[in-house]
Amino acid sequence: MAKAKVMYVCNQCGAEYARWQGQCRQCGEWNTIEEVKLSSNASPARTVTRAASLAGFAGVADGKVENLSQVQIAQTVRMPTGYGEFDRVLGGGIVPGSVVLIGGNPGAGKSTLLLQTVCMLSSSTKVLYITGEESLEQVALRAQRLSLPTAQVRIGAETSIDNIIAVALQEQPAVLVVDSIQVMHVNDVDSAPGSVTQVRESAAALTQFAKRTGIAVFLVGHVTKEGSLAGPKVLEHCVDCSVLLEAGNDMRFRTLRCHKNRFGAVNEIGVFAMTDKGLHEIKNPSAIFLNRQEKVAPGSLATCVWEGTRPLLVELQCLVDLSQYGNPRRLSLGTDGNRLAMLLSVLHRHAGIQLGDQDVFVNVVGGVKIDGTSADVPLILALLSSFTERPISRTTIAFGEIGLTGEIRPVQSGLERLNEAEKQGFLRAIVPYDNAPRNKSKMGNLEIIPVRNIQELVDLV
């Protein structure tokens, strides 16, 4: 009997090694390298048969090479999911032959969202839902509880990738959902489901299947306690679109955020509300994140961030309090903590305001995460408001970037942000000088106050 081959794979980045070692040289993580046994008698006949069937199904060219300018570009017709927020995150709808990875914490609503989507699509196109973690009865009970139309939905319970591909070739659906990729396995790989090798080979097989047949594939992925997708990082590299379904502080709402998209813009978000009838899309998320009290306390200010292709209004809160200990705390939820420390230093150097003996806490209401630099100006204003105990009017909004020399720098899509603020009923906007409209001090009812440096912000407060 031939001896089984052994290799060692990092469960974080997928790097392969001939022997075990404590630290991965690719990603630098410790104790992430696991032993993987490879089957020595795995015949390539099954792989060749699978590739041949796929090639015959789609008529793939046999290694033909041509100039890039001569490639014929076909008009891509996207399939709407039936949910405008989901279509926005995907870049306008489902692209045939694409592979979409949806991750999220347990209970976030990944399976619910996909079940609602396939039920909506089943009225106009053929769909196939493969469940590997739940029984058919469990999925049917959820669909009945959500009052979904299930007459045209094809469903099966399977964990073998080879059997799933065979069934999909027989059914020929337009959309295939695999829930979830961590429980799937390839028969030729001698490893347990959920291991690094199985996850990688299963995703690679389904990706090849989608590209050769033109069937759109949705994969459900688990999330680790650190918040990243479980399994090797190569799982995100081989898919066309990576989407994360997040549950904020308020468990009623879910944020669908796109981290990678080969067919649209990244950093798009869609907002859903979780109810007893499933996920319902929120067409105006700014109204939710700006649900402010009538009497505004010091340290609260609205700002406009840019998410993908649309503006989003959120509330930024700051609390500055005298530190009771020798080491003042700096805590930031929803913004970059390192950027908060930088802004405090800029405020001291160029405005002469010392907060070194104060505890500083920053929070973005609604669990929204701000990745850009447009929240620098409202953050400084909210800090000053809390420090001086002077509230800012609830009809005031601000955005802008602050440099290390204390200058206020412009941000992208300033005009669109101002239009959104005016639409939501704000009366005053504090913006960078280069983002203010030329020769105009008002846009409708919105008064525009341009600022050039951080000292002008202090004078405003």
CA distances from 187 to 35, 44, 46, 111, 335 (A): 19, 11, 9, 25, 45
The bridge status of strand 358-364 relative to strand 330-333 is parallel
Q: What whole-number distance in Å separates Cα of residue 311 and Cα of residue 305?
A: 6
Helices and strands (H, E) in the chain, number of each type: 12, 22
Helix ranges restricted to H, 214-261: 234-238
| Residue positions forming the annotated binding site for ATP | 104-111
Straight-line distance from the first to the last Cα atom of the chain, in angstroms, rounded to the nearest whole number: 81
Residue numbers in the known binding site are 104-111
Rounded distance, CA 126 to CA 119, Å? 10
Distance CA 118, CA 129 (A): 8
3-state secondary structure of 272: strand
Would you list the DSSP string of 327-346? S--EEEESS-HHHHHHHHHH
Instruction: Please say whether the beta carbons of 60 and 69 come within 8 A.
Output: no
